Structure 1
Amino acid sequence: MTPFGEAATPFDERVEAVVAAMPELAGEVVRYGLAAAPVASPIHRATASDCVRLERRAGPPVFLKIRHPDCAADVSPVAAAAAAKAAAVGVGPNVTSAIDGALALDFLPEPWRYARVGDLQDGAVMAETMAAKKRLHESGTIGWRFDPFQRTRALATEAVAIHAPLPDDVDRLVEACALAGGAIEAAGVDLAFCHNDEVASNVMIGDGVQLVDFDLAGDNDRWFDVGALVNETCAFEAERWAAIELYAGRCDQRLYNRCRLYGAVDDVMWGLWGVVRAVASGRSGVEFYKYGTWRLSHARVTLAERGFEEWLRRL
């Protein structure tokens, strides 16, 4: 931990400048240190922001996120409000302070830890996670639309513009997402406040479950949250049906089809993100490209399933 006021690196200088700009924290922080190193593969966490643990003169530690400029497009304009809304409904840590580009929250100490995919494959943990998502969805919209299909198109356009090294079949994957978007729009969407980022590490487990990282939060189809989480966690059809039932109390073929489509779209969206950030980001040591190509590979398998056309037709 670095004593506050003894900045010796660019990272230290960033932290101290942000803390000084937060009235709730200025003059209160005595030391600080990296809370989570950025990793894109095999897990995906702490890539959009520096994550810092702040020790205060009085009171518990604070978790500070300082956004990286190269990931500014990966953070919604309502991210701070979304984190506060999640805290208000009891499914996320309290927000301590927020300024443009930085967010401070209550630090979740041990035994809290971020979840791995294997944790979410436990039925009890998955049930708690789905219940937390449902509380978000039932809390009322937040007023900013997150559209996974629009984000996928934008990332595909950016990838071409910066000459990112894309797989030969990426156009087919993007076209399949467009088909899914058209089918889902025709079937109808009811907007709800959604997390929109279903990577396992955005679930904290300890004394229950807490959701973190609301960088992409906004109003969306709740089944995107469910479908993307099922896609992240479940490898087999029976597991997918069971997970959807945990959320909805039932699972019919139409719900299953919608969730499968959303899972594939989430893969393509994050796959393109990884490939784009590998080229556009100046940071070395973060395996953006490896993560992106893995997600595109996963999407390729899903979209090649013989049930894909049936998913499109029965929504």
Structure 2
Amino acid sequence: MSSLEAEQSRVRRSIARLPGWDGETAVIEPALPVLASPSWRGVDGTPWRVRNAANGESAFVKAMDQDAALYIDVPCAFEAASRACALGIGPRVLCADLDEGVLVMEDLDRGWRVGTLERVLDPAIVDAVLAARRRFREGPPLPKRRGVFEEVEHFHAAAQEARAQLPSETAWLVGELRLAADAIRGLAIAPVPIHGDGNVSNILISDAGEIRLIDWDRATTADPLEDIGSFLVEAFAHEPEARDAFTRHTGAFDEAAFSRARLYGIADDLRWGLIGALLAAKSRRNTLEFYKFASWRFARCGMAVREPRFGETLRRLA
């Protein structure tokens, strides 16, 4: 059996668990192109669209790739997706099959669009995204409790062990962000469940302006400002726009809190650079441009750390 046939068999077994579905007669088709550069899209699990030949219903299926074990807590990700479904801020989860590593969701195809940088220029969309993230934080802690600074250390060690190609300044970047981690560690912070991934392509937007958050693979229990920081660094190239969105979200501008969110965003770039480098070294999927994606995240992190404002941001935490 080929790898493609094996993966489709996984999908059929999971689909067969749904009432009214027959896994053997389900029509399985690729849902979207898998890209690791310039966007990280469909990388964590192969995206399929499955149609019920009997009644025409369709479902969106994410079959986790074996690479996911390198950087994702799959049980926590599936639990987070299910919680988002219950809260109405994520697609309906029809089946979360941990045995197969398959997540089956409602198919938000017609009338929905993937988020882009152009679409998040609309303040109403930004506010809806931040409101959804805020709502998710109201639930009980998730089983995963590792924040972005801990993940930077983890993936830096993993990349070194894998002999991954890393920029010469990587150790320096890790060291500079340890200063931020040490400063934040001394603050009184109540960890909450967070989405943890600010990529704007993880937002679905309906024609009516509704939003749904998808791809809960970085979900964890951490500082709520980590969730905001990872989104702001992706959505806004310039600080004034990020400040405006932050102020609308929090109700007032707090310099120390905004600085904390910015530092989390900078650390998020380094984390994703390390993940990309790790997969470039270890993934069997050598047609995906993992290192090209990593290079962009390393570069943006390096630019932020070199700015004089990085030191100012650290001082403003107090």
TM-score by length of 1: 0.93
Q: What residue in structure 2 maps to residue 175 of structure 1?
A: 175
Q: What residue in structure 2 maps to residue 71 of structure 1?
A: 68
**1:54-102 deviation line (CA, Å, top 9, x unaligned):** 1113363111111111221322231111111001111001111122211
**1:264-292 deviation line (CA, Å, top 9, x unaligned):** 00000001111111111010221110000
Alignment of 1:111 onto 2:108: no
**1:122-180 deviation line (CA, Å, top 9, x unaligned):** 21211111111111112332343132112111111111112211111111111122111
Conserved? CA contact 1:198–1:225, under 8 Å: yes
Conserved? CA contact 1:39–1:286, under 8 Å: yes
Conserved? CA contact 1:75–1:215, under 8 Å: yes
| Most deviating of 153-162 and 194-203 | 153-162
Alignment of 1:19 onto 2:12: yes
- Select 2:3's aligned residue among 3, 10, 21: 10
Conserved? CA contact 2:76–2:144, under 8 Å: yes
Number of equivalenced pairs: 308
Conserved? CA contact 2:82–2:93, under 8 Å: yes
Secondary structure class of the residue paired with 1:276: helix
Conserved? CA contact 1:53–1:107, under 8 Å: yes
- Select 1:40's aligned residue among 36, 56, 68: 36
Q: What residue in structure 2 maps to residue 305 of structure 1?
A: 307
Letter in 2 for 1:202: N
Conserved? CA contact 1:22–1:98, under 8 Å: no
* Residues in 1 aligned to 2:191 and 2:56: alpha-carbon distance in whole angstroms: 38
Letter in 2 for 1:37: P
User: What is the identity percentage for the equivalent residue pairs of Structure 1 and Structure 2?
Assistant: 30
Q: What residue in structure 1 maps to residue 250 of structure 2?
A: 248
Superposed CA RMSD in Å reads: 1.7
* Residues in 1 aligned to 2:143 and 2:168: alpha-carbon distance in whole angstroms: 38
Letter in 2 for 1:157: A
Output aligned runs, 1:131-146, within 5 Å: 131-146=131-146
* Residues in 2 aligned to 1:51 and 1:247: alpha-carbon distance in whole angstroms: 32
Alignment of 1:58 onto 2:55: yes
Cα 1:62–1:118 shift into 2, 3 Å: same
| Most deviating of 72-81 and 126-135 | 72-81
1:49 shift after superposition: 0.6
Q: What residue in structure 2 maps to residue 225 of structure 1?
A: 227
Secondary structure class of the residue paired with 2:247: helix
Secondary structure class of the residue paired with 1:295: helix
* Residues in 2 aligned to 1:144 and 1:275: alpha-carbon distance in whole angstroms: 23
* Residues in 2 aligned to 1:96 and 1:227: alpha-carbon distance in whole angstroms: 31
* Residues in 1 aligned to 2:182 and 2:16: alpha-carbon distance in whole angstroms: 47
- Select 2:91's aligned residue among 71, 90, 93: 93
Q: What residue in structure 2 maps to residue 287 of structure 1?
A: 289
Secondary structure class of the residue paired with 2:308: coil
**1:167-210 deviation line (CA, Å, top 9, x unaligned):** 11111111122111111111122111100111111011114100
* Residues in 1 aligned to 2:189 and 2:121: alpha-carbon distance in whole angstroms: 28
Conserved? CA contact 1:254–1:314, under 8 Å: yes
Conserved? CA contact 2:177–2:267, under 8 Å: yes
| Runs of 4+ off more than 4 Å | none
* Residues in 1 aligned to 2:16 and 2:191: alpha-carbon distance in whole angstroms: 35
1:298 shift after superposition: 0.2
Secondary structure class of the residue paired with 2:109: coil
Secondary structure class of the residue paired with 1:50: strand
Q: What residue in structure 2 maps to residue 4 of structure 1?
A: none
* Residues in 1 aligned to 2:56 and 2:213: alpha-carbon distance in whole angstroms: 22
Conserved? CA contact 2:49–2:107, under 8 Å: yes
Q: What residue in structure 2 maps to residue 129 of structure 1?
A: 129
Q: What residue in structure 2 maps to residue 5 of structure 1?
A: none
Conserved? CA contact 1:48–1:74, under 8 Å: no
Conserved? CA contact 2:12–2:26, under 8 Å: no
1:23 shift after superposition: 4.7
* Residues in 1 aligned to 2:87 and 2:120: alpha-carbon distance in whole angstroms: 22
Conserved? CA contact 2:266–2:304, under 8 Å: yes
1:21 shift after superposition: 4.4
| Most deviating of 241-250 and 9-18 | 9-18
Return 5+ residue gaps in structure 2 as ranges. none
Letter in 1 for 2:63: I
Letter in 2 for 1:264: I
* Residues in 2 aligned to 1:102 and 1:230: alpha-carbon distance in whole angstroms: 30
* Residues in 2 aligned to 1:232 and 1:212: alpha-carbon distance in whole angstroms: 16
Output aligned runs, 1:271-286, within 5 Å: 271-286=273-288
* Residues in 2 aligned to 1:121 and 1:255: alpha-carbon distance in whole angstroms: 23
TM-score by length of 2: 0.92
